[in-house]
Amino acid sequence: MLTQSHGVYDMPGKQIIAVFGATGAQGGGLVRAIAADPNGPFEARALTRNPGSDKAKALAAAGITVVAADADKPETLAPALAGAHGAFCVTNFWEHLSAEREGAQASAMARATKAAGVQHVIWSTLEDTRLAIPLADTRLPTLQGQYKCPHFDAKGQVDHVFATEAAPTTYMLAAFYWDNFIHFGMGPRAGENGAYTLALPLGGAKLPGIAAGDIGGCAYGIFRAGASTIGQRIGIAGESLSGADMAAKMGQALGKTVHFLDVPFDTYRGLGFPGAEDLGNMFQYQAIMGEEFQRHRDAKRARELFPALQDFSGWLAANARSMPLG
Ligand code: NAP
């Protein structure tokens, strides 16, 4: 039975987790994980700018409470978070490519969680790369005047806002989505003699990766673990693999030959698509940090939080055929 409180409908006896990005990859996975555990302690409240969108309507049709909230309009956040036990906060840099706007959105979310009396926040952050590679370091070109890797730095630089102005927070760091091989144009390309090439700028480093849909499962595990995780930085991955290993596993899954090409960072930065320089710097940062970066994306910890976590072969078994082979 549903009861009305704070202007939205809640299930009695359940603690509400307000989920930003519920119509997207990270938040959507969390909503699904909560719904998949009907005897668990939580109920998802899906937050979206547009409750009339097809994705929001699909959530509502599945019985999820959908509430309007726009992180660009801080005044919309108080009613969306009212009465919530937890809040999952994620921002989408790639919609606008502005580090300033992403920082403002995240800061508004952070402050709203405290004002609403939320007990536990997960902030989906990434490293501020400038802590290891200061602006004066010429290995990575400086972008947007004050960043090395805007979509990382913008998130990392608001960690302190969550630490000081938000409700008690756990910091979750996601790995590279393997789904980028489907949706982000990063999949294998056709070459000569029927073979394919996976081309990424890895600088010889392993790439920690994860099935995007599993990130929400890990977030669910963090909410289940509760207060013990507050203040922790929990990096998650399904597996860390070299470029050659990813290509070989893709080849096995596709029944084709897939070679790996380690693209020079400067070449990748020069590809010209929106965000190419940012991503080129991201990959070079990962290569410079090496094992330390991989240690901060821990598959063992992630699997403890979410036992159904997929490795790359598992992800490929379900998704290899969806990769557009250009
Ligand atoms: P996504 O699938 O692209 O969906 C974006 C979500 O953000 C949507 O649910 C959208 O909701 C919501 N949103 C956007 N602007 C909003 C606003 N102003 N107020 C409230 N909600 C808003 O996103 P995602 O992949 O889950 O997360 C994106 C983030 O993941 C990026 O910042 C990226 O840097 C990070 N990330 C990506 C990777 C990768 O490999 N791709 C790896 C690690 C981290 P509505 O449209 O319904 O309002």
**Cα(204) to centroid of ligand 1, in Å?**
29
Q: Which position has the token pair 């004002």?
A: 115
Mean pLDDT calculated for residue range 41-51: 98
Q: Which position has the token pair 């990766």?
A: 209
What is the 8-class DSSP label of residue 93?
Answer: G
Q: Look at residue 5 and tell me whether its pLDDT is greater than 90.
A: no
**Cα(113) to centroid of ligand 1, in Å?**
18
The amino acid at 170? T
Mean pLDDT calculated for residue range 45-57: 98
Does the CB atom of residue 23 touch ligand 1 within 6 A? yes
Query: What is the CATH classification number for the domain harbouring 247?
Result: 3.40.50.720
Q: Look at residue 171 and tell me whether its pLDDT is greater than 70.
A: yes
Mean pLDDT calculated for residue range 9-37: 93
Residue 325 lies in a domain: no
Mean pLDDT calculated for residue range 8-34: 91
Instruction: Identify the three-state secondary structure at position 129.
Output: helix
- Alpha-carbon distance of 179 to 186, in angstroms, equals 9
Residue 185 lies in a domain: yes
Mean pLDDT calculated for residue range 132-148: 97
pLDDT at 2: 40
Task: Say what the pTM is.
Answer: 0.96
Using one digit for the tens of pLDDT, what is the confidence trace for 172-208? 999 999 999 999 889 999 988 889 999 999 999 999 9
Which is it for strands 65-68 and 42-48: parallel, antiparallel or unpaired?
parallel
Q: Which position has the token pair 């939580």?
A: 42
Q: Look at residue 4 and tell me whether its pLDDT is greater than 70.
A: no
Does the CB atom of residue 207 touch ligand 1 within 6 A? no
Rounded to the nearest 5 percent, the helix, strand and coil shares of the chain are 45, 20, 35
Cα Rg for the chain, rounded, in angstroms? Answer: 20
Q: Look at residue 167 and tell me whether its pLDDT is greater than 70.
A: yes
Residue 289 lies in a domain: yes
Residue 66 near residue 59, CB atoms below 8 Å: yes
**Binning pLDDT at 50, 70 and 90, where does residue 321 land?**
very high
Does the CB atom of residue 235 touch ligand 1 within 6 A? no
Does the CB atom of residue 70 touch ligand 1 within 6 A? yes
Residue 326 lies in a domain: no
Q: How many domains are contained in the chain?
A: 1
Domain, as residue range, for 8 = 3-318
Using one digit for the tens of pLDDT, what is the confidence trace for 217-272? 999 999 999 999 999 999 999 999 999 999 999 999 999 999 999 999 999 999 99
Residue 82 lies in a domain: yes
**Cα(90) to centroid of ligand 1, in Å?**
6
**Cα(164) to centroid of ligand 1, in Å?**
24
Residue 118 lies in a domain: yes
pLDDT at 67: 98
